[in-house]
Amino acid sequence: VAIIGAGNVGATTAYALMLRALFRDIVLIDKDMARAQAEAVDIAHGNALARPARIWAGTYADAATAQIAILTAGAATHGAESRLSVTARSAAIVQACVADLRAAGFDGLLLVAANPVDVMALTAFEHAGLPASRVIGSGTLLDSSRLRQAVAARLGVAPGSVSGYVVGEHGDSEVVAFSTVRVGGLPLSAIPGAAALDLDAIAADVREAAYRIVTGKGYTSFGVATALVKICEAVIRDEKTVLPVSTLLTGQYGISDLYLSLPCIVGRGGVEKVLVAEFNPAETEQLHRSAEVVRQAALGRMG
Ligand SMILES: NC(=O)c1ccc[n+]([C@@H]2O[C@H](COP(=O)([O-])OP(=O)(O)OC[C@H]3O[C@@H](n4cnc5c(N)ncnc54)[C@H](O)[C@@H]3O)[C@@H](O)[C@H]2O)c1
């Protein structure tokens, strides 16, 4: 696996991937070579105590034969800055990195984490020369995990027993689709105590989670790294796992030519199928509004 961008997200992802032992080779690529080297050496120092892997700082030539390239190089947000506010800066970085990756002959799966991730995944797709199925944005997998965690904590059940999706933009317009939430496979209406849940407060919690973390520690890293590992695992093990990831829409809900998150079947081929769930009318309307927000950001990319 090649990880482009050895900052907070890239280094944490490399570390999580080393512990998960999915890859024999983990190469970190960053325009700041000293930083990439320091992170690689630090992670490699734990490898004697984990399963063997080679972790090093390299160049795009090292990424040429990677099965997966994870793109974390992008403009970071600070304080109350929205993800969309860094669109132009991130797009320039993503474009440059993808051009280098393509020039090196990379022909694997490109997993994009740089924000705003839906617009950056679209940018990467436009420049990578890869089929859309093999250019994936981490999308709302993280937000969906936050939703499951939030519902689980309030109901006193394990997060793994809660399923449900946040869809649309990974950002302020995202759709927290409570109609999809199940606890142990049962709808919320069947769960004791669930009627008392303040769904609006949970949705706000999920939507604002990253801002609170950025206020506290300056960036987010562990949640997104875990989501990236999960996607890698689904691809490498050809799992056909259903994950809400950002993918090129081709008419679903009447939306096309945009990257947005919907539940997708993820396997060796990347996004192998996009699932079209029956959201309630309010959620469907929110999804359309979210698409419009992302469309405007995509149009204004270089502005
Ligand atoms: N998708 C998500 O859920 C999610 C979550 C958290 C952060 N992010 C995003 O991930 C990105 C990275 O965040 P971070 O906290 O790691 O930022 P960071 O500033 O710590 O790291 C970015 C790294 O990219 C490198 N870089 C910049 N331009 C480059 C280029 N042209 N070529 C190679 N490397 C380059 C920088 O040197 C830096 O090391 C941001 O866009 C952030 O918003 C996404």
115 CA to centre of ligand 1 in angstroms: 8
DSSP conformation letters of 43-68 = HHTTGGGSS--EEEE--HHHHTT-SE
| pLDDT tens string 31-87 | 999 999 999 999 999 999 999 999 999 999 999 999 999 999 999 888 889 998 999
pLDDT at position 129 is 98
Q: What end-to-end distance do the CA atoms of the chain give, in Å?
A: 33
Which atom of ligand 1 lies nearest, measured to the CA of 117?
1
Distances (CA, A) of 275 to 203, 240, 263: 22, 12, 6
Tell me what the pLDDT averaged over the chain comes to. 97
Instruction: Say if residue 202's pLDDT is above 70.
Output: yes
**For range 166-189, the mean pLDDT:** 97
Which residue has the CA at smallest separation from atom 20 of ligand 1? 7
| Residues 231-262: tens digit of each pLDDT | 999 999 999 999 999 999 999 999 999 999 99
Span from the CA of 89 to the centroid of ligand 1 (angstroms): 11
Residues assigned a catalytic role: 170
Mean pLDDT of 20-37: 98
Q: How far apart are CA 114 and CA 149, in angstroms?
A: 23
Tens digit of each residue's pLDDT (9 = 90 or more) over 279-303: 999 999 999 999 999 999 999 886 5
What confidence category does residue 111 fall into, taking pLDDT thresholds of 50, 70 and 90? very high
> What does the pLDDT look like over 149-175, one tens digit per residue?
999 999 999 999 999 999 999 999 999
**Pocket of ligand 1 contains residue 267 by CB under 6 Å:** no
| pLDDT at residue 223 greater than cutoff 90 | yes
Residue 13: which of 268, 232, 234, 219 has the closest Cα?
232
Is 76 near ligand 1, meaning CB less than 6 Å away? yes
74 lines ligand 1 (CB under 6 A): yes
Residues 120-139: pLDDT tens digits?
A: 999 999 999 999 999 999 99
CB crowding 224-255: b at 16 or more within 10 Å, else e: bbbbbbbbbebbbeeeeeebbbbbbbeebbeb
Ligand 1: does its nearest atom lie under 6 Å from the Cβ of 137? no
Q: How far, in Å, from the CA of 59 to the mean position of ligand 1?
A: 17
Instruction: From the CA of 100, give the closest atom in ligand 1.
Output: 32
User: What is the average per-residue pLDDT within 19-33?
Assistant: 98
Ligand 1 contacts CB of residue 75 (under 6 A): yes
pTM of the model: 0.98
Q: Is 93 in the pocket of ligand 1 (CB under 6 A)?
A: yes
* Whole-number pLDDT of residue 301: 85
Return the ligand 1 atom nearest residue 221 CA.
Answer: 6
